[in-house]
Amino acid sequence: MLVTGGAGFIGSHTCVELLAHGHAVVVVDDFSNSSPAVIDRIDKAAGRPITALHEGDLRDSSLLRSVFEAHPIDAVIHFAAKKAVGESVELPLEYYDVNVSATTSLLRTMLAHGVRELVFSSSCSIYGQTSTVPLGEAEPAAPTNPYARSKWFCENIIADACRRYPELNAVALRYFNPVGAHSSGLLGEDPRGVPNNVMPYMMQVAIGRRPELQVFGGDYETPDGTCVRDYIHVMDVADGHRVALSQLEPGFSVFNLGTGVGTSVLGLVAAFREACGVEIPARVVSRRPGDVAMLIADPARAASAWGWRTTRDLHAMVRDAWEFQRLNPYGYEAGLVVGSGQ
């Protein structure tokens, strides 16, 4: 199995899940948003190593060709992409180039080597400024920034490829808000620079790297005025990929990966206090442009088609994220804290 972007946040956890279920895993990653140190952590967390790592850019078709020639690849899980919404507004061409070109280059190489199975990382951000709660897959896509549009373009490109090449079977998984970490504390979310997302930001406040959490907006039409999101444990996301692959249907399909449960920003702070006994200094500031009040998945399609449901609750999400942060206060490159026993 080829995992692109396998050193990233979701890719690394998915590699562990695949290894634990007996799959052989080949990773391609250029480490543009991850650390080579992750590969050892994957091997350690899974208790057995990945088959191979190929360092390089997915847009490099000769690299891809050599990967497909070197290994008997039966399926691809395609995570590699740039993912920061704000940065995508500043660098739209870079986002379209990396996210879309990597996908077309991958599809071409898969077809040339007779590889028929693809799982693609899509995003709830393709639904855009919607007020529909919960969101089913039939909700029209209305992406509002280059990142989200790049994901929507890729979904369409893959769907077109499946129409033209009926031997190709693909699924796009629209993740809601993946958070949490592997329960060993070996793997987690380690963003570069200032975190854009609430959970890693909150963890850096908790560990003392940042003074407070700014809560973006307290006047939304939600029970406590702060935005509500559908946080999903990254190991449930990883499990969702394994199951999606095992249940892959002919042609192209899309599935939400979410819990169907909404949590507000202040609810997340409270859950952290309850699960980990740490108070996060939080201050409500003005809204962040582009945020919607409430995004909650309707997870019914995955439940009825695959019999699949998430199994980890908010308590597990904050507990596991905190364990990773405690053991890796300055991230992968700085190493595990001495005496962690890992």
Identify each DSSP E strand in the chain by its residue range: 2-4, 26-29, 52-55, 75-78, 117-123, 169-175, 177-179, 213-216, 228-229, 231-233, 251-257, 263-264, 282-285, 294-295
Is 147 noted as a catalytic residue in this protein?
Answer: yes
CB of residue 147 vs ligand NAD: minimum separation in angstroms? 7
Decide whether 58 or 266 has the Cβ nearer to ligand NAD: 58
* Conformational region of residue 191, where left means phi above 0, alpha means psi within -120 to 50, and beta covers everything else: beta
Query: Is 8 near ligand NAD (CB under 6 A)?
Result: yes
| Number of residues lying near ligand NAD (CB under 6 A) | 28
- Stretch of 3-11, 209-217, 262-270, 305-313 contacting ligand NAD, by CB under 6 A: 3-11
Query: Is 264 near ligand NAD (CB under 6 A)?
Result: no
11 interacts with, out of ligand WQD, ligand NAD, none, CB within 5 to 8 A per kind:
ligand NAD
Buried b (16+ CB within 10 A) or exposed e, 45-66: bbeeebbebbeebbbeeebbee
CB of residue 220 vs ligand WQD: minimum separation in angstroms? 8
127 interacts with, out of ligand WQD, ligand NAD, none, CB within 5 to 8 A per kind:
none
Binding to ligand NAD, residues 175-194 (CB under 6 A):
175, 177-178
Q: What is the dihedral of CA 328, 329, 335, 339, to 10 degrees?
A: -70
Closest CA to 124 of 108, 109, 113, 137: 137
CB of residue 165 vs ligand WQD: minimum separation in angstroms? 27
Q: Which of 2, 3, 5, 238 binds ligand NAD (CB under 6 A)?
A: 5
Which residues does 270 contact at the CB level (< 8 Å), separation at least 6? none
> What track of x and - describes contact with ligand NAD for positions 110 through 129 (by CB under 6 A)?
-----------x-x------
Q: How far is CA 151 from the centre of its chain?
A: 13
Q: Which of 29, 155, 230, 323 binds ligand NAD (CB under 6 A)?
A: 29
Reduced to 3 states, what is the DSSP secondary structure of residue 76? Answer: strand
What is the longest distance spanned by two Cα atoms in the chain? 56
Decide whether 150 or 169 has the Cβ nearer to ligand WQD: 150
Q: Which of 127, 147, 201, 332 is catalytic?
A: 147
Compute the distance between CA of residue 272 and CA of residue 265 in angstroms, rounded to an integer: 11
CB of residue 324 vs ligand WQD: minimum separation in angstroms? 16
180 interacts with, out of ligand NAD, ligand WQD, none, CB within 5 to 8 A per kind:
none
Q: Give the catalytic positions in this structure.
A: 147
